[in-house]
Amino acid sequence: MSITMDAESYLKSGSNELRVLEYDTSGISFGINILKVNRIIATAEGILQMPESHPAVTGVLRDRGDLIPIVNLASFLGLDYEEGKIEKIIVTEFFGKLTGFQVDHINWIHHFRWEDLIDAQQVFSGIDHNYLLGIVKPTEDNLIQMLDYETLLLELNPNLEEISSHKRTSTVDLKNKKILIAEDSPAVRAMLINEFTELGLEVHAAGDGVKGWELFQQVKPDLVISDVEMPQMDGLALTLKIRQSDRPDTPVIVYSSIGDAGMKDRAKYLKADAHITKLELDKLIKTVGSLINGDPIEDSEELETIS
């Protein structure tokens, strides 16, 4: 399954657009941003079981030359499911890695705007909801739960965070600088806050684009790091507002788990200074240092893509 859209068309149709692939497993409707779907595999046959893996990991599947780890989503979420009834695999691409999620059925693609997403914090205030970001409602009778796939994958692969932190070798001096982080995933947001606080920055963080825009006006940061997928206002819309503000030259880094060329084109179209795929922390820190200090970005490919 492949969906592409050029940057200009995407922005004309509204950068704050959310396209949700609805699927169900164990009788519950879930959704995922279509931009994170690499492909859909119609059959779960041919999965090779792997020893000593997470209980929810069914095994690996070879498809189009890729070896893809397969996760039984119902099992991971602790839902009841019936063996042999899982029909589809949704292959996602996060952090530059492919992961397949076994689900029961693929239902429909819905079109929303990010402000249509009901934040899980509003619904479940004070109640633990580790993997739920929010809810969208195509109709009054249909509730689609939007999962935090990034947190889910970090729990499945804790070494991802450890490896990215281990690789951090930057010695850039960022003390006494202010940075704004707009990121809806609590796990990724906490990771970034910890990293940049340790480097001596004054860190301000928001869980959605609207709060990010409010903080931008209040704290006047030296640099902004923004996710793309966020409730209320996505990172591309936030970038556009910054470029139209009274501080339009503030450096903006789009930090997204969506690393395809289309997302880089959209970031370039909005004059973002860089696009970095999530968990490339060493690269992110070096780019932050270069942009704050007014130095050239060391990665020539990054300059070619975004400059």
Per-residue pLDDT reduced to its tens digit, 210-268: 999 999 999 999 999 999 888 888 898 899 999 999 999 999 999 987 755 566 777 77
pLDDT at 7 exceeding the cut of 60: no
pLDDT at 4: 40
Contacting residues for 262 by C-beta, under 8 A, at least 6 apart: 4, 5, 6, 7, 10, 35
pLDDT at 299: 53
Tokens representing residue 49 in the block: 């079981």
| 163/253: higher pLDDT | 253
CATH 2.40.50.180 fits 7-156, yes or no: yes
**pLDDT-based confidence at residue 11 (cuts at 50, 70, 90):** very low
pLDDT at 293: 87
pLDDT at 304: 40
Is the whole model's pTM more than 0.85, yes or no? no
Strand boundaries in the chain, DSSP class E: 17-25, 28-33, 37-41, 57-63, 66-72, 88-94, 97-103, 105-113, 118-119, 132-139, 142-147, 178-182, 202-206, 223-226, 252-256, 274-277
pLDDT at 9: 46
Kindly provide the b/e burial profile for residues 249-265, where b requires at least 16 CB atoms within 10 angstroms of the residue's own CB. Answer: ebbbbbbbbbbeeebbb
Least confident range of 162-166, 204-208, 223-227 = 162-166
| 182/12: higher pLDDT | 182
**pLDDT-based confidence at residue 104 (cuts at 50, 70, 90):** very high
**pLDDT-based confidence at residue 20 (cuts at 50, 70, 90):** very high
Contacting residues for 282 by C-beta, under 8 A, at least 6 apart: 164, 167, 168, 169, 170
Share the mean pLDDT of the chain: 82
Q: How confident is the model over 50-95, as pLDDT tens digits?
A: 887 888 999 999 999 999 999 999 999 999 877 766 679 999 988 7
pLDDT at 155 exceeding the cut of 90: no
Tokens representing residue 25 in the block: 């497993």
pLDDT at 303: 35
Of 197, 112, 191, 180, nearest to 146 (Cα)? 112
Q: For the chain, report the end-to-end CA distance as a whole number of angstroms.
A: 31
Tokens representing residue 48 in the block: 């090779």
Least confident range of 55-64, 110-119, 264-273 = 264-273
CATH 2.40.30.170 fits 159-306, yes or no: no
Percent of all residues in the chain with a pLDDT value above 70, rounded to a whole number: 81
Domain ranges of the chain: 7-156, 159-306
pLDDT at 166: 44
Query: What does each C-alpha distance from 203 to 174, 178, 220 come to in angstroms?
Result: 11, 6, 12
pLDDT at 294: 85
pLDDT at 232: 85
Query: What does each C-alpha distance from 300 to 138, 176, 180, 208 come to in angstroms?
Result: 44, 28, 25, 31
* The most confident of 83-87, 288-292, 295-299, by mean pLDDT: 288-292
